[in-house]
Amino acid sequence: MKTMNILWIGLLVLSVGVIFFMVGVNLTENKVIYENIEVEKQQPMILVELLEWGENINDNEELIFSYYLYNFGDTEAKNITVSCELSLDSEQEHIVWEEDYNLGNLGSNSNKYYESYMKYYSDSKGYYGSCELKSIDGDYINLKDRI
C-alpha cells in the first residue's frame, strides 16, 4: 500500500512537471509572435478591398471603381496612391487601361470608402476591374501580399 502511494505521488509530480513545461513553452512562443505583431503595427498596414466596378449610368464614357481602404496599423498612412486597372483577364496580364489615384492620408486603425472615376469608353463586358495599393510614403505593409 505504501509503495502504491509513492508511485501515485511520483506520477502526479511527473504530470505536473510536464504540464508546467508545456505551458511555459507555449507562453514563450506566443510572446515572440505577439512581439512581431507589435513591431509590424508600428507602421501602416494597408488593405484595398474592391467592392464593385462598372459603367457610370450618368456618363457612359466613364467607369466607377468602388472600394474600401483599411489601415490596421498604429501609424497614419500618408500620401496613399491606389491604382485601378481594366484588363482582359483576371490575372491582370493584359491591361487595357490603368489610372492612379492619390487619396491623401488615412488615420491609424481606420477605414474609408472611395469611388474613383476612370474615363474610358468601351463596353465593359468581358473586362476585369481591379484596384490595388501602389505606394505610400515611408515603410508600410501591403496586406494583399499576406492574404
H or E stretch including 9?
Answer: helix 2-40
Q: ∠ at Cα 117 (114, 118), nearest 5°? A: 140
- Identify the CATH assignment for 45-146 out of 3.40.50.970, 2.60.40.10, 1.20.1440.120, 3.30.450.20: 2.60.40.10
CA distances from 86 to 9, 47, 48, 134 (A): 72, 19, 16, 15
Q: How confident is the prediction along the chain (147 residues), in pLDDT tens digits per residue? A: 666 667 677 677 677 666 766 666 555 444 444 555 555 668 899 999 999 998 888 888 888 999 999 999 999 999 999 999 988 876 767 788 889 999 999 999 999 999 999 987 666 667 888 999 999 998 888 888 877
pLDDT score, position 102: 95
